[in-house]
Amino acid sequence: MNTLMIPARDGAKLACHRYCPEEGSDTHARLLFLHGGSFNSRRYANIAKACVKKGFEVVLCDWRGHGDSEGTPGTCDYVGQLEDDISDTISWFEQKQPLPLILGGHSSGSVICLRYIEKYGQDKLAGCYFIAPAISNTLEPLRFDEPGSKKSFLMNYWRKKPGYHPAQESSLKHIPKMNNRKFLLALVLPFLRHRTVMSFPGSAKMAALEGRVLNYSFNLMASVSVPKYSIAFRQIKVPIAFICGEADEILNPSFLPMVAQWHLPPTLDKEVHMLPKLNHISVLSGAARVLPQWLVQRWVKSAGHQEHKEQLLEQAG
């Protein structure tokens, strides 16, 4: 593994941890991986190693302000800066050594990928994958009811919600808490958009040791959310995989199968892997098993891959 510092359009250096297959062996494609909210790339080395074994180059990217990347922790300059950073990273690799590119991430990282696809299209992508994508702008993807969800349901549907299913204590350790008052103030007053509106659970000491960022500003929070997921997903035209634990604390277990059937194009190459007993974090061990299989089925020794690779080489040469 080697760490590259890639310049973003504003001059900030973004850390990319690159895992390459052994020298002399064929590299089928390049995976760009974005870590989940509050974390950094360190946690994802097992997935990278599993994919490298199958002949894929993996680039674990630290978001700006996270891990080894430059930037202010917990905020960004404007809403949408993170997908601009992905675009810059992709362009940099494309110039240096073109390979078919597969983009994805975990939790909020996969939401940034979705935002990238919405903004920049998929011309540069050969595939995408979403591990437990934390889509939380609307009520329906959520596994547990939030306080006030009965009222929201009544306001949205003009019917009474018959049940209320709040999250158990044990499930709350991965769910960030939003300060609604601060959020609304930041929404109205742009100069407050660098102040914290959302906090992840966890002790500050442990977070410092792990290199985690626990507090997010309005700008950063809005950069990791998709207002209308159905519109974003329908644009996808490249092979796509969803990987999620059945015991995920954030996502309703019916959500991803529903998205795959109702919001992705009917003829698209799509797969949903709902892994039993795994939650929002432990799904990473399952993903290290499932993701390489999905990649091998599609990009190893296929004629399409060869063609795509030749095209890219021609463009570069």
Query: Crossing angle for the helix pair 108-120 and 81-96, nearest 10 degrees?
Result: 70
User: Contact between 258 and other proteins (CB under 8 A)?
Assistant: yes
Nearer to other proteins, 130 or 255 (CB): 255
- Nearest-approach distance from CB 155 to other proteins, in angstroms: 8
Report the distance separating Cα 293 and Cα 296, nearest Å: 5
Amino acid at 316: A
Least distance CB 265 / other proteins (angstroms) = 6
- Near other proteins in 108-147, by CB under 8 A: 138, 140-141
CB of 312 to other proteins, least distance (A): 29
Taking residues 233 to 252 in sequence order and writing x for each that binds other proteins by CB under 8 A, - otherwise, the string is -x-----------------x
Residue 139 beta carbon to other proteins: minimum distance, rounded to whole angstroms: 10
Q: Which is nearer to other proteins, 4 or 260 (CB)?
A: 260
Q: Could you tell me the CA-to-CA distances from 256 to 44, 89, 229, 273, 282 in Å, in that order?
A: 22, 28, 11, 9, 18
Residues 140-159 that bind other proteins (CB under 8 A): 140-141, 153, 156-159
Sheet with 196-199, edge to edge strand ranges? 177-178, 196-199, 215-217
183 near other proteins, judged by CB under 8 A: no
Residue 118, amino acid: E
Tokens representing residue 80 in the block: 């949408």
Closest approach of other proteins to the CB of residue 160, in Å: 9
Among 266, 303, 315, 317, binds other proteins (CB under 8 A): 266
Nearer to other proteins, 153 or 183 (CB): 153
Q: Which residues contact 264 (CB under 8 A, 6 or more apart)?
A: 233, 234, 236, 240, 270
Q: Tell me which residue of 91, 9, 66 sits closest to 220, measured CA to CA.
A: 66
**143: closest CA among 167, 110, 172?**
167
Q: Applying CB under 8 A, does 162 fall inside the site for other proteins? A: yes
User: Could you say which DSSP state residue 70 is in?
Assistant: -
- Least distance from other proteins to the Cβ atom of residue 267, Å: 8
Residues that bind other proteins (CB under 8 A): 138, 140-141, 153, 156-159, 161-163, 228, 230-231, 234, 252, 254-255, 257-258, 260-263, 265-266
